[in-house]
Homo-oligomer: A and B are copies of this chain.
Amino acid sequence: MKTLNKLMSLTQAVELIHDNDTVGIGGNVLHRAPMALVREIARQEKKGLHIVKTAGAMDVDLLCLAECVSSVDAGFISYETEYSLAGHYRKAVQNGLVKGNEHACYTVISALRAASAGIPFMPVKGLQISDLIEVNDYFTRIQDPFSGELVTVVKAIVPDVVIIHVQEADKNGNAKILGPKYDDVLLSRAAKKVIITTETIVPDSKFAFSQDKADIPHFLVNAVVHMPKGAAPCSCPSKYSIDRNNLDAFKAIKNKEELKDYLDNFMTEDYRRY
């Protein structure tokens, strides 16, 4: 049987992302962030991206430093305790370069669920007394038509493209996440396009003959990049933990010029063809 081969290079995959796109990012804080794709977005100098993530860290921080970002819709943007704040994101928001659209992580999830179901908004039970409703145009209150009570709703967020790093994928785009899936499966359902980087390319027959089927089916996926260490220096469960030296090096970066060197140092690894 003929199959659709979606294997391509990192460069080709990132060319599917356009300036001003809404980009959803998989993983959570320093876990399974699609860092090779993030680095290539920075190298290709994408502009005006609208980033969507429940809880982001280095990925969003790097893209803010690279000046690729126009807005961030997220519940939490920070490294966890040990690596402290996302300084470049914070600075960009405080300088007015990036609009920080604050959500609860759950309202990001609700907005993505709305996108996935093709509906324009989603009611959210928990957002009740909050200044967030008044200051943001993506929240509002409406009447429940059945009880007459007020309910807060969040506007759908439809990512133009979602970038996800997985441990296993076949060349057609069937992709399997080992360990915590975070919000990646939902992201793949909400987006118009999905770009996958994968630690390993598995044979087409692997998922068919396993009880462990793919989490993301091929027909949602537009690009597959074979990219071992594609989440580094972030962690990739069952494959590797964080790369502390590299994280320290990144945290020491002060400006865009130093970022260029940092990105250049990854080029051999990111552009290697497997």
Contacts and interface: CB of A to CB of B under 8 A. Distances in A.
B140 A121 contact: no
- Each complex incorporates copies of this chain amounting to 2
Given A120-B123, A125-B117, A212-B211, A140 B145 contact: yes
Interface string A144-162: 1111010101010000000
Interface string A189-227: 000000000000000000000011000000000000000
Interface string A123-136: 11100000000000
A144 B120 contact: yes
B151 A140 contact: no
A145 to B, nearest CB: 5
Interface string A95-135: 00000000000000010001001111111110000000000
A142 interface: yes
Contact of A145 (B119, B142, B212): B142
A149 B120 contact: yes
Interface in A164-194: none
Contact of A155 (B117, B146, B149): B146
A146 B124 contact: no
Interface of A: 110, 114, 117-125, 140, 142-147, 149, 151, 153, 155, 211-212
Given A140-B145, A146-B155, 17 more contacts: A117-B123, A117-B124, A118-B125, A119-B124, A119-B125, A119-B151, A120-B123, A120-B146, A120-B147, A120-B149, A120-B151, A121-B123, A121-B146, A122-B123, A142-B142, A145-B153, A211-B212
30 contacts: A110-B117, A114-B123, A117-B123, A117-B124, A117-B125, A118-B125, A119-B122, A119-B123, A119-B124, A119-B125, A119-B151, A120-B123, A120-B144, A120-B146, A120-B147, A120-B149, A120-B151, A121-B123, A121-B144, A121-B145, A121-B146, A122-B123, A140-B146, A142-B142, A142-B143, A142-B145, A145-B153, A146-B155, A211-B212, A212-B212
Would you list the 6 A-B pairs with minimal beta carbon distance, nearest first? A119-B123, A118-B125, A120-B144, A140-B145, A142-B145, A146-B155
